[in-house]
Structure 1
């Protein structure tokens, strides 16, 4: 059962990373600037986040197995349509459809896992599910880069058809049948405030970067409206009987500390993932395939550390493991950022990426395990929904902000008709690239510095994670 969940999750993580190596090609093929093309990634992430809030309710209403099969089917259909897109607008729309299905896959899968796993084996089971975080980022850039260079970017999406069909077939045969659950009403007002509020906030941030102006009404209005809608959702969730997301979970110190850590760490860690393939292609002139290959060390280190960290968190205090992971990631980001230039040896960057990956793998799954351990059977859907929502939306916000920062940094440092700032699809000659590469590399270095700051800040909530072993935590009412 766990391996089926892993296979389904791989599709979502694969599609979150595979697009990164194709950003430059999509910009060129569709004649669209970075601020528009990045919505192929951000729109997908936002759609994931929009569906996650309703997942806990839908799990109780329709059953975990039935909902999981529906999610895989919707994701697969969206993949086929994305591969058939005829312009950048249609691609973004179909990526959103993909995300609507993908947003339910991880939280429903985690709910199925939480209900099946014994508490003393939760870390091990979560690390197995975390294989998707290894295989997706590891194969996504490489396979995606090869498809972009040698076949067509459309096959980045068509490849999900046989995988999705296999998951549906296996899950339908092997997953436990749904049992009747107590139904609760859907918090429609909460849903109508949270999902659009998040989308409006990200839209405002991204539009500000595209226009290089955060003072216009077209930017300020969606940011303010989005923030007010999110605040309204929080106020409602604290007073209504059946909230869309049960904020009472945050009374648990472990859950609150873990989710606080995820907000900052995921924004910096996943948000920066869009930068690496762009750096290799725009600054160094590498192909999409090579850009994917050069990122393998980080993905491999992340997946390996995740398997180790998931097993350690079943035996040792999660606070100590997570603090170690964040420190490793911060050290890796500092090394990478400090060394980044137009001619930095690739082996230096790959070593730094390995340290970043090791830190990320030692942080993510132990933090998510700390958030969900000790919760009851009835709390599992709400907890998995909340954790996945926070993780996904933090990554979406991070990606949008990083895109804005990079676009503005390139615009400030490079000018003239040959500058790729804001339009990464504009072909430039080797001679022109050599002349602007130092300035472009400086823009990437500046942007990575912001990601490093977020990683360092995540140490603060991580200090409040449990410092005792799992067995002791289970007997501690403070959590």
Structure 2
């Protein structure tokens, strides 16, 4: 009976997850909607694509700056306060972006959005996993991952429809209802968890922030420039990458010699966090890199519109949604390792057909492979994210959220940059055959990312470790749960 209890998601934990998911949907939809609108924005605002690209790059840099602050903010102010503050910042940024008067103002408001979103995503994960108290982590993480699963399905469709029929400004008004409802639900139903006035509140690791936030931002900037410069041997790529790596090395030295660092990187020495960090980096490469290639394949090789390309990618999102219903509960039963290995092998196998596809390939057969690929991605995401919290206490969960979110973010930027460079350099001619050959090469590299990640999965926790950790921490957990009734 004890095992059955630990395998069930507490209704209060589920309620907390659903409250937080409402607000998080705004962040995920915003990212995927804007990604299909850059050409339209460049045309309407009369600026080159190289300038409007900062609508995305500025947002990603702001995310990188804000994410490391989440662990300290949670300990200093409490989860409810930080969540509502971050959601309000994202709401203000969304309204500002919808009213932007030129490209510069739009980029500025996107930075504001990124600061709010950078806090929201790790805070959401931390609060839900803390509420779970070490029990049913696999089932719980399926709710945490819900926004990321819905975004790739609905975001391109909504974005394509808005760009086709309405002004681009409505892309940002889509966020407003999610933010407003999310704020109301959080204010009424999230437990107030402000630290006691008698407790010693953590001081901000200012030196850590000065080193880590610019380091992450510089690395992401360098990788973004690599994708647009068609190579890594450019000063605007090498310089930020070198500066970023230097800052991250300096932060590592600083954090190892400080008792309460901004982010406790010592957690990487634990099997659960260290293995998950590595695998999530490569899963970011495989997921986000292919998200660059797939819509481009449909638009450039098959000649469809942005909206049609979004429709053709729906099967991948559907497959992810379906597999999450199985992968989460299975992780609680058999551990993360076996499921992640199978998931990555499925992702690799279902990417291979695109390495042979051309303009005449059967569209229905490719849609079937996308469905299978999505199922593999769902089977990867659930167990690996779950593994990153195995055996951690309440305070460590916030730091693990920062580490795993950073791994995904930098991995996604790295994968996108590498595949963009490979795609461009593989297109050695101007004919259609050269373009198709370039896509084939890039898809082989995407397959390779998945296979390398498969090898790393052997270090993920298995069933024995998951069960032992759940039994060890379940009794000691002090969950932050949702409640009904009046505001706390």
> What TM-score, normalized to structure 1?
0.88
Kindly indicate whether residue 272 of structure 2 is the aligned counterpart of residue 254 of structure 1: yes
TM-aligned CA distance change 1:402 to 1:99, over 3 Å = farther
The whole-number CA distance in structure 2 between the counterparts of 1:52 and 1:195 is: 8
1:370 aligned residue: 387
Preserved CA contact (<8 Å) 2:230 2:425: yes
Q: 1: distance between equivalents of 2:432 and 2:295?
A: 15
Q: 1: CA distance between counterparts of 2:441 and 2:148?
A: 27
Q: Paired residue for 1:73?
A: 88
Superimposed CA distance per residue, residues 3-26 of structure 1 (whole angstroms, 9 cap, x where no aligned partner): 111112222221222223223433
Flag the 1:208–1:374 CA change in 2: closer, same or farther, 3 A: closer
State whether structure 2 residue 455 is matched by structure 1 residue 460: yes
The number of aligned residues is 454
What is the Cα deviation at residue 32 of structure 1? 5.3
Report the equivalent of 2:11. Answer: none
Q: SS of the counterpart of 1:241?
A: coil
CA offset at residue 37 of structure 1?
4.2
**Aligned 1:416-455 pairs, distance under 5 A:** 436-455=431-450
- Classify 1:208/1:135 alpha carbon distance in 2 versus 1 (closer, same or farther; 3 Å): closer
Which piece of structure 1 moves more, 399-408 or 190-199?
Answer: 399-408
Separation in 2, partners of 1:364, 1:11: 20
Alpha carbons of 1:43 and 1:440: their partners in 2 closer, same or farther (altered >3 Å)? farther
Q: Distance in 1 between matches of 2:169 and 2:292?
A: 19
- Deviation track 1:192-231 (CA, whole Å, cap 9, x = no partner) reads 1222122222323333454446444443322211111111
Q: 1:35 to 1:280 in 2, by over 3 A?
A: farther
The aligned counterpart of 1:41 is 56
Are the aligned partners of 1:207 and 1:219 in contact in 2 as well (CA < 8 Å)?
A: yes
What is residue 100 of structure 2 aligned with on the other side? 85
- Measure the CA separation in 1 of the matches of 2:102 and 2:420: 21
Evaluate the alpha carbon distance shift between residue 114 and residue 219 of structure 1 in structure 2; reply closer, same or farther with a 3 A threshold. Answer: closer
Q: Distance in 2 between matches of 1:33 and 1:462?
A: 42
CA contact (8 A) 1:267 1:396 kept: yes
User: 8 Å contact 2:391–2:472 — kept in the other structure?
Assistant: no
Hey, what does 1:354 align to over in structure 2?
Answer: 371
Match of 1:196 among 195, 214, 222: 214
What pairs with 1:112-261 in structure 2 (closer than 5 Å)? Answer: 112-180=127-195, 182-212=200-230, 214-261=232-279
4+ long deviations beyond 6 Å: none
Quote the offset at 1:175 in angstroms: 0.3
> What SS does the aligned partner of 1:180 have?
coil
Change (3 A) 1:70 1:179: closer
Q: Distance in 2 between matches of 1:443 and 1:36?
A: 26
Alpha carbons of structure 1 residues 158 and 215: separation in structure 2 relative to 1, 3 Å = same
Aligned residues of 1:413 and 1:443 also touching (Cα < 8 A): no
Match of 1:314 among 309, 328, 332: 332
Q: In 1, Cα distance between the equivalents of 2:165 and 2:323?
A: 32
What corresponds to 1:420 in structure 2? none
Is the 1:65–1:176 contact (alpha carbons within 8 Å) kept by the matching residues of 2?
yes
Are residues 218 and 395 of structure 1, via their aligned partners in 2, closer, same or farther at CA, if it must alter by over 3 Å?
A: closer
Matched residue, 2:289: 271
Change (3 A) 1:28 1:198: same
- Paired residues of 1:331 and 1:355 also in contact (CA < 8 A): no
Q: Structure 1 pair 211/112, CA: closer, same or farther in 2 (3 Å)?
A: closer
**1:53 and 1:191 in contact (8 A); partners too:** yes
Q: Matches of 2:53 and 2:452 in 1, distance apart?
A: 26
CA contact (8 A) 2:57 2:224 kept: no
Worse-matched range after superposition: 114-123 or 132-141: 114-123
What's the C-alpha RMSD, in Å, of the aligned pairs? 2.3
**1:471 and 2:467 correspond:** yes
Distance 1:399 1:237 in 2: 29
Q: Give the whole-Å Cα distance in 2 for the aligned partners of 1:453 and 1:36.
A: 32
8 Å contact 1:310–1:365 — kept in the other structure?
yes
Picking from 23, 26, 37, the partner of 1:11 is: 26
Structure 1 gap segments, 5+ residues each: 415-435
Paired with 1:210 and 1:252, the residues of 2 have a C-alpha distance of 37
Distance 1:406 1:18, change over 3 A: farther
1:135-158 Cα offsets, whole Å, 9 max, x none, are 211110111111111112221211
Q: Is the 8 A contact 1:319 1:466 kept in 2?
A: yes
SS at match of 2:459: coil
Q: What secondary structure sits across from 2:318 in the alignment?
A: helix
Question: In 2, distance between residues paired with 1:460 and 1:33?
Answer: 42
Distance 1:192 1:403, change over 3 A: farther
Where does residue 290 of structure 1 map in the other structure?
308
Deviation at 1:258, TM superposition (A): 1.1
Residue 51 (str. 1) matches residue 66 (str. 2): yes
Q: Can you list the C-alpha shifts for 1:49-104, whole angstroms capped at 9, x where unaligned? A: 22111110011111110000011111111122222334444333322221110011
Mapped contact 1:284–1:437 kept (Cα < 8 A): no
